[in-house]
Structures are given as structure tokens and as C-alpha cells.
Structure 1
Amino acid sequence: MVEREIMMSLPMGANTSIGNPNTNVHVEFPAGSNIDITALQIYSGGKVRGDGDMCFYNQPSISDGAVKFEQTSTGATFFLNLSQIPQDAEKIVFTATTDDTNPFSALNGRLALSLDSTHIEISCEGREERALILAEIYKRNGAWKIRHVGQGFNGGLKAIAEHFGIEVAAPSDAPVTRPSPAPKTVAPPKVNLSKVSLTKNESRISLKKEDGRFGKIRVNLNWNQKKKSSGLFGMGKSGIDLDVGAFVEGIDGTVTAVQALGNTFGNYSSFPYAFLNGDDRTGATTDGEWLEINGEQWSKLRRVLVYAFIYEGSPDWRETDGAIRILVPDQPEIEVRMNEHGSRDGMCAVALLENEGGQIRVNRENRFFKGHRQMDEAYGWGMKWVAGRK
């Protein structure tokens, strides 16, 4: 009997060691998709040094053959000799870009990357970006590891190129069969357009900081600002008041809730190290509601459950078109959307932030409940609840 090698699925943000320095990275995408796969050799500061650090269809070999490229109709393969990578190179980043018109959500199929027995699945559902960092191979204490990144760029090829210090030449009037970037070293871009959208299949990401101090973590809730007809013959107009809040548990087991309901707005400088910055009652505020978490005190927190609840208006989450964004300094923006469910329950547990060895693991929840008490029981917070108003 022939034994089959067991593939290990690597979730977003996770990493694993690479045993053999002579290995291959395979990237698969649906046949007929107009996708370009690229490997970038990255140095200190997260940038390439020049043309010779970009391995793709127009330059299928870099670093004297340490990275070689081969493309087929359904993917690409990179042949790696990691022992020959320049000593001062810190990582190899694998990216995918679509054409200028279609986002990854338009793909009819999957996007996957594999190395030896490690498998990375990239969900394209809900992905409106046109460029993705699939994975990175990097050095840690002299050994090579691979990490599932899954980071998206709204600006497509240009945004992802500039992020790594590459300038993409403007298209000429002459017809070409494929876009051809002309990489060269440039100053770091002024705007980082990165974003990670957590979905059913890509539901988790880990945020890492060597010192465990994450700065000010900002959580934004925004939703559909349009009012709909209601009342007799549809003459009235009703809006939805969507509120953001959080259950917070300290490392010592102390628990509390931070929300406008009950005027428990929290405290940024002492426990719960979270503060609700205002309450948008109508959805008319352009940037919605903000919750701030003191990431400098992350070591004192065990977990934070970010939730949204419909305080007024029809309890139909598809109509809210609501989204939570989590912004952490020097980390990709994280987005979780709540418009894919038609639940009539008024409360949604959106994202769970957990302290794992001083780092932050963010998990997409999107679980719906009738109220605070039911959500509390589901997550085991153990708080006492009474009726409240704001």
C-alpha cells in the first residue's frame, strides 16, 4: 500500500517550519483566470532593492537561480533553493494580482498555495481587493519558516508594488498582451492601502509585536445611513441605530461591558483599558462609532469580544450593511462585515480578540443572539444583567 502524505492546513496568521531548503511553492487558481503570481525578495525595512528582487513571468529567475518561476494555465510554481538566498534578504513574499477590472470575489473557484505538506487555502468570497499577499517565507533564528498572510490591497498591482518599494510604470499607448511592471527602488509610499477581510473560510489572523505593546487599537462600526419608508402607506422614514460595544475580561478574571447602553463608556487608562468614543444614534456620522482599546496594556487583558447591536430600527442585518474595522498601528486593517445574514436577532458578536502569549489573535465570530444575556452565556462571561437605557 502506498502511503499518502498528510497535508497540514495553515490558517491565516499561522506559521510552520520548512524542513528542506530545496523546496517548491505551488500556487493554484481557476483555469482561465487572469491572475499574475509574483515572488518578491525582501530586505530590511520591508522593501526590495531593485529589479533583481522580483521573480515573475517577465523575469523567471533571480539570485542566480535561488528562486525560479514557471507558470501554467492554472497556477505557478516557484523552485526554491533557500540556502542560496542572499544572507541579508529577510523574506520571500508571494503575491497574486488580478486585472484592473475584476476583484478576487469574481473568481469562480479557489486560490491555494502549497509547500511540501503545508497547504494554504485563500477564500475569494467577499474579497473586493485586486491584489493579495498569499504567504511569506522568512528567517527566524537562522531557520526558514512559512506564514499564511492573506493580506489584501484595494489598489491592486500598484498598491502592492509600492508597499514593497516598487514603482509600476504607467501604461503606454502601444498594445501589449500582459501588463508589465517596471520595478525600481523608490521611497516608501505615503499611504498603506492594506486590508484583511475575515470571511467564513479565512476567519482568523494573528497580530504580532515583539514587545507585546500594540499602541492604540481603534475599532470602528459603520452601517447603512439610508432611511427606509415605514408607517401608514410608507409615509414615514425610519433609520437604524446600530451600536458598538465590547465584553472585556482582564487577565485576573475581572469582566465588564463597554457600551453606550447603560452609559458604561469604559476607561482607557485603567481597567477595562477600553473606551467608547461617542455614540452615533443615526448612522449619519460619516465615520460611524469608535471604540478604543489601550494596546499598551494588552498584557493585562485576556480577551475582548467586539459586538454590535440594533438599538432602534428593523432587526435585519442585511439591511444594515454593517462592518467592523479593527485598526492596529503597523498592522493590516482588519474588516468583518455583517451583511451576509438575514438574522432577526438584534445582537451580533462580531470579532473576538484573544491574548495568546502576549500577541493578539483576532477571530471572526458573526454569531447572532437575542440580547446581551444570551451572548454572555454563549461565551461564558458570567455577568449580571438588568434593563438599561442610553
Structure 2
Amino acid sequence: MSPTVLPRGAAIDLPAAERWTVAACWNRHAQCEVDVVAFALRENGRVSRDEDFVFYGAAETPDGTVRLAARGPAEQAIVIDLTALPEAVRTVTIAAAIDGTVTFGDLGPVRLSAGPGDGGPAHAQATLDTGTTERTMLVAEVYRRGPRWRLRVVGQGYDFGLAGLARGFGVDVEE
């Protein structure tokens, strides 16, 4: 079965599965590194604690329900154990951040795929290719809606760096 192609802003129900993987890939750019990160958010859109921010320096939440899986210099993924996430977590927001002065306009398209398990066949995919001056971008969110989980392709970019994005989600960032 072919994956569902989602435009920016679209959302779909996720079939029941213990784990889901949301992967992002891009064309490698010699003058920057791209980091995929995740925020396990409460209903108020903020983390419960700083450890609910998953990034290269803290590759999983303390309970292991959200983790970063690096797959090389131009692909990273977030693996979410939906059955074990604490009830207080309503949304897992996935973002990409560019280190340095390169922007998403310079980088080019970010391709997303989401599938059950630890990287099996894609159930959904999207291409985010409208970046201009942004250095951080919300790429997707997995969220609870009633008893089900849904995936939304976001594609919202910001001109500020990762620290600004993390602060916006309630993370205490030391400079």
C-alpha cells in the first residue's frame, strides 16, 4: 500500500500501533548541521519538565517513550511509544533546527515519513519545501484526539534558533 501524501497543515488518524516513527530527511548542506528534536507537551502546550525535550544532547525522555534515532548526517527520526506515553502528554511536537546562518530556504525541502514501529514502511509522507529565512521549523505533531492519535504536518518556520523554540515550549535553556 502506498503511503498517504499529506500537504502542509493536513492531519490523519494513526492506525493503532505501539510505536510510531516520524523521520525527516534533507539534502546534506556542507555549511550546516540540521538537528531533529521533539517536545513532549501537556495540554497547555508546554513541557512538564526540561527532560521532556529530546535533542542530540538528551536523546530520550527519562521514561524512554520519546527518543531520537539518528540515521546519518541527512536523516533523523523521532520514535514515540504511544502506548506508554504518560496520560499528561497530549502532543509530541517534532521540529528541525539549523545550526549556523544557513536557512531552510538554503537547505531546500525537508521530506517527512511516518510509519508504525521503528522505521517500517511509511504510512504517511510529506514534503516541506516553502522555507525561506527560517532557522527552526515545526515539522509535525503527533497528538491525542479522544481515544486516538493523529499526525499533523505543520511546516511552520521561525527565524530564531533552537534555544528560542525550546523556551517557547517551557524549557529552561542555559546560554
| Identity across the alignment (%) | 27
Establish whether residue 10 from structure 1 lines up as the match of residue 6 from structure 2. Answer: yes
**Alignment-derived partner of residue 118 in structure 2:** none
Pairing 1:1-390 to 2, within 5 Å after superposition:
5-19=1-15, 20-32=17-29, 33-71=32-70, 72-107=72-107, 109-116=108-115, 117-125=123-131, 127-170=132-175
Distance 1:69 1:129 in 2: 22
Q: Say which SS state the counterpart of residue 64 (structure 1) adopts.
A: coil
Amino acid aligned to 2:22: V
Q: Which residue does 1:375 correspond to in 2?
A: none
Change (3 A) 1:59 1:158: closer
Kept in 2, the 8 Å contact 1:161–1:168? The answer is: yes
- Paired residues in the alignment total 164
CA–CA distance in structure 2, aligned partners of residues 53 and 10 of structure 1: 27
Match of 2:120 in 1: none
Residue 63 of structure 1 deviates from its aligned partner by 4.5
* CA distance in 2: counterparts of 1:168 and 1:92, whole angstroms: 19
Residue identity opposite 1:31 in structure 2: R
CA distance, structure 2, for counterparts of residue 124 and residue 12 of structure 1:
10
Q: CA deviation at 1:18?
A: 0.9
One-letter code of the match for 1:118? A
What is the CA-CA distance between 1:74 and the residue it aligns to? 1.3
Q: Could you tell me which runs of 5 or more consecutive residues in structure 1 were left unpaired when the two chains were aligned.
A: 171-390
SS of corresponding position for 2:164: helix
Between the aligned partners of 1:149 and 1:114, the Cα distance in structure 2 is 13
Equivalent residues of 2:103, 2:134 under 8 A apart: yes
Code of the residue aligned with 2:146 in structure 1: it is: N
Q: Larger relative contact order (C-alpha < 8 A, sep ≥ 6)?
A: 2
Offset at 1:10? 0.9
- What TM-score do you get using the length of structure 2 for normalisation? 0.86
Amino acid at match of 2:126: I
Structure 2: which amino acid aligns with 1:100?
G
CA RMSD of aligned residues (A): 1.5
- Separation in 1, partners of 2:53, 2:98: 17
Residue 124 of structure 1 deviates from its aligned partner by 4.3
Distance 2:5 2:62 in 1: 30
What SS is found at the alignment partner of 1:162?
helix
Output the amino acid matched with 1:113. Answer: L
Give CA deviations for 1:208-234 in whole Å, capped at 9, x if unaligned: xxxxxxxxxxxxxxxxxxxxxxxxxxx
Residue deviations 1:295-340, cap 9 Å, x none? Answer: xxxxxxxxxxxxxxxxxxxxxxxxxxxxxxxxxxxxxxxxxxxxxx
Question: Are the aligned partners of 1:63 and 1:86 in contact in 2 as well (CA < 8 Å)?
Answer: no
